[in-house]
Amino acid sequence: MPVVRGKNIEVLYSPEVIAARNREMADEIVRGPHKDLLVISILKGSFIFAADLIRAMHAAGLAPEVEFITLSSYGTGTESKGVRITKDIDSDVHGRDVLLIDDILESGRTLRFAKDLLLERGARNVTIAVLLDKREKRRVDLEADYVGFECPDHFVVGYGMDVAYAFRELPFVGVVTGDAQ
């Protein structure tokens, strides 16, 4: 089991498994709406997934523009109550097909907020790609169009996802299981 920062990390999704799934998702995305396609990566957690998925999309024949938006949740403790924009995109989305990329779909509040925002700004279609879907934690009505993996309700790290800014560099998705001996 990998040890990082003195912690045992159990691997849930290996780099190879993630790469293979990214290629499949890119093949699905080609068959979806992509008129004047704008990809928007939701920072910070999706930066590695987005970097890999857009290259898989290139291999699948797509040539999107790519933007970034930074969103943060506010609320008490771990329960998010609302979402706000920390850093917005620069592009005009009017009449365009938009693909939102995020790491995890959990309560759905983050992606609901982002999708509504872009539709209000006049996007033609807004579709959603997430690496992980924690379906049992959903609190608002929202489904992703492209899902890497249905994920059990563990707190996961790696492949861009963090605990207090740590573990983002791991090439796999894993769970911290405890202190290493």
In the complex, the residues that contact Mg ion under the rule CB under 5 A are 45
Q: Which residue from 109, 103, 52 is spatially nearest to 79, judged by alpha carbons? A: 109
Selection from Mg ion, ligand IMP, none that 80 binds (CB < 5 to 8 A by kind) is ligand IMP
Query: Helix, strand, coil shares of the chain as percentages rounded to 5?
Result: 25, 40, 35
How many beta carbons lie within 10 A of that of residue 49, not counting itself? 27
Query: Given the complex with ligand IMP, which of 6 and 165 has the nearer CB atom?
Result: 165
The footprint of ligand IMP on residues 25-54 (CB under 6 A) is: 45
Contact positions with ligand IMP (CB under 6 A) in 113-172 = 155-156, 161
Q: Minimum Å distance from CB 13 to ligand IMP?
A: 12
Spell out the residues 6+ positions from residue 133 whose beta carbon is closer than 8 angstroms to its own: 104, 105, 144, 147, 148, 149, 150, 151
When the beta carbons of 73 and 91 are compared against ligand IMP, the nearer one is 73
Using CB under 6 A as the criterion, which residues of the chain lie in contact with ligand IMP when the complex forms? 45, 73, 80, 102-110, 155-156, 161
